[in-house]
Structure 1
Amino acid sequence: MDFGNVGLVVAGLVVGFIVGMTGVGGGSLMTPILLWFGINPATAVGTDLLYAAITKSGGVLVHAKNRNIDWAITGWLTLGSVPAVGLTLWFLSSLHSSPDAMNAVIKQALGFVLFATALAILFKKRLLQFAHDRAGGHYNPSGARLNALTVVTGLVLGTMVALTSIGAGALGTVALFILYPFLVTKRLVGTEIAHAVPLTLVAGLGHASMGNMDWHILGFLLIGSLPGIYLGSHLSGRISDELLRPCLAVMLAMIGFKLAF
């Protein structure tokens, strides 16, 4: 195993550890790391999408066993996200004859979504407080209106994920907290993970069909990430969220700013 492959295993281990400890940061950390390794943006996004689909599949099994998934919400999100993925991939395929243009679009989108993710992580408590306040207020959509808002949320998430591999985690969870403030946290997290797996799988396979995939890199990332997630999950809660969240947010904001501007 050469130095580059060892670096990929270590990257998978570190990102898996952070995801296991905080629940966020998978795509928002892995894709920039792959760019740092010199991988072009399209391949970095495609590889990270299948990486996310595989690593989160285990989470779905656990949450489903514990009945922490609202399959109705997952269905409405998927109704918006999967068509959005298809349209976004079609748009990217139209740029495929010009790889530089496609990579430029992905890199620009990646920067803005990283910045938005950083804000969502940094102001997580305020956003959650807004959701809780709204739950006791007069504005509380339900029925067809709530379903329509969920489909639109899925559409936005699907577009972001297909373009950048980022958004299904931190942004998706915050969106669900705002839309469904009465659901307990563990069911919202489980529902977000259940939606993220088919979303990242479809987007990842779509990118793979366009050649935006490196199976060699994917394999080495998984070698590191699987034990990393296991270790991080066991240490979850032992390091203060007040320390982790600002550090992660600042790091993502700096990376996003550099990519976008």
Structure 2
Amino acid sequence: MDITYIASGFAVGLLVGMTGVGGGSLMTPLLTLLFNVHPSVAVGTDLAFASVTKGAGTITHRLRGTVRWDIVRRLCAGALPAALVATWGLQQFGTLNQGVAVFIRYSIAISVLLTVVAILFRRRMLDWVHARPGRQLQGRALTTATVVSGVVLGTLVTISSIGAGAIGATLLVMMYPRLTPAEVAGTDIAYAVPLTAIAAVGHWYLGSINWALLFTLLIGSLPGITIGSWAARSMPERFLRGVLAATLTGVAAKMIY
């Protein structure tokens, strides 16, 4: 089974490297559907996985100067308290409770579908924003919207481990259309580090992290991400994102039914 986990980690890493979509939308459903890992354990393990990989990514983006720390602070102002509240809610109801397991399962499915929307319509959303500069948020309204977005993302990530990747990046380009693609990626990764770390600590406290599984997945995912990043240069992005969107839609449907 370890070989299968390593292969799964490699496959997810490969897709993440080629498409840039967060691993949570791939890894968490995979663990739940294919390996019958309890939903809360799948979420907790993936959060720990994400905090390690995104931490390494943040160091690189910081060295390149592609992190907008002012936006990171605003997102964290909403996301971190939301993560703590969501963790408290999971503790109150019990992560191994069957009703909570069903709730987490549906939360994962909804988060996956939101990721599909972000993948398919991100360019159209951005074009819409650019075509209407008068409707772009400014000043206090922009700050408030960023904090509220952090609350939504913090809740989604803590419950389902999904949301910090494609959904977070889409919200960033909608609110801050003047960011460069590198700044969107760097800022999205940077705010996700403390968020996934806090959520992972909460799940560790709740006993819903499988450490052996985590290390096994990392063995496969690290080379997969490296190879995928190189392969992305020769693969058509539209094709990759279309395949990924179709796959995730099937995953969400399977989790619901």
Contact 1:172/1:192, CA 8 A, preserved across alignment: yes
Q: 1:116 aligns with which of 92, 107, 114?
A: 114
Instruction: State the distance in 1 between where 2:113 and 2:179 align.
Output: 27
**Counterparts of residues 166-185 of structure 1 (less than 5 Å):** 166-185=162-181
**Counterparts of residues 136-155 of structure 1 (less than 5 Å):** 137-155=133-151
What is the identity, as a one-letter code, of the residue corresponding to 1:73? I
What per-residue deviation string (whole Å, max 9, x for no partner) do you get for residues 151-170 of structure 1? 00000000100010000000
Show the counterpart of 2:90: 92
What is the CA RMSD across the aligned residues, in angstroms? 1.2
Contact 1:18/1:25, CA 8 A, preserved across alignment: no
Show the counterpart of 2:236: 240
- Displacement of 1:97 in angstroms is 7.4
- Displacement of 1:216 in angstroms is 0.4
Q: 2:255 aligns with which of 244, 255, 259?
A: 259
What per-residue deviation string (whole Å, max 9, x for no partner) do you get for residues 122-149 of structure 1? 1222122123223xx2112222211110
Show the counterpart of 2:125: 127
In the TM superposition, structure 1's runs of 4+ consecutive aligned residues that sit over 3 Å from their partners are none
Instruction: State the distance in 2 between where 1:260 and 1:94 align.
Output: 24
Show the counterpart of 2:185: 189
Show the counterpart of 1:14: 11
Contact 1:150/1:179, CA 8 A, preserved across alignment: yes
1:198 aligns with 2:194: yes
What is the identity, as a one-letter code, of the residue corresponding to 1:253? T
What per-residue deviation string (whole Å, max 9, x for no partner) do you get for residues 192-223 of structure 1? 00011111111111011101110000000000
- Displacement of 1:188 in angstroms is 1.2
Contact 2:172/2:184, CA 8 A, preserved across alignment: yes
Q: 1:59 aligns with which of 57, 67, 73?
A: 57
What is the identity, as a one-letter code, of the residue corresponding to 2:230? H
Unaligned stretches of 5+ in structure 1? none
Question: In structure 1, the residue corresponding to 2:36 is in which secondary structure?
Answer: coil
Q: Are residues 108 and 42 of structure 1, via their aligned partners in 2, closer, same or farther at CA, if it must alter by over 3 Å?
A: same
Number of residue-to-residue matches in the alignment: 256
Q: 1:41 aligns with which of 15, 39, 42?
A: 39
Contact 1:80/1:153, CA 8 A, preserved across alignment: yes
Question: In structure 1, the residue corresponding to 2:207 is in which secondary structure?
Answer: coil
TM-score (norm 2): 0.96
Question: In structure 2, the residue corresponding to 1:138 is in which secondary structure?
Answer: helix
Contact 1:130/1:178, CA 8 A, preserved across alignment: no
Stretch moving more, 35-44 or 98-107: 98-107
Unaligned stretches of 5+ in structure 2? none
What is the identity, as a one-letter code, of the residue corresponding to 1:123? F
Instruction: State the distance in 2 between where 1:203 and 1:258 align.
Output: 26
Instruction: State the distance in 2 between where 1:58 and 1:234 align.
Output: 18
Contact 2:129/2:136, CA 8 A, preserved across alignment: no
Instruction: State the distance in 2 between where 1:236 and 1:74 align.
Output: 27
Instruction: State the distance in 2 between where 1:119 and 1:57 align.
Output: 26
Q: Are residues 98 and 245 of structure 1, via their aligned partners in 2, closer, same or farther at CA, if it must alter by over 3 Å?
A: closer
Q: 2:156 aligns with which of 160, 172, 177?
A: 160
Identity value in percent? 40
Instruction: State the distance in 1 between where 2:126 and 2:116 align.
Output: 15
Q: 2:26 aligns with which of 26, 29, 40?
A: 29
- Displacement of 1:98 in angstroms is 5.7
TM-score (norm 1): 0.95
Instruction: State the distance in 2 between where 1:68 and 1:98 align.
Output: 40
- Displacement of 1:254 in angstroms is 1.4
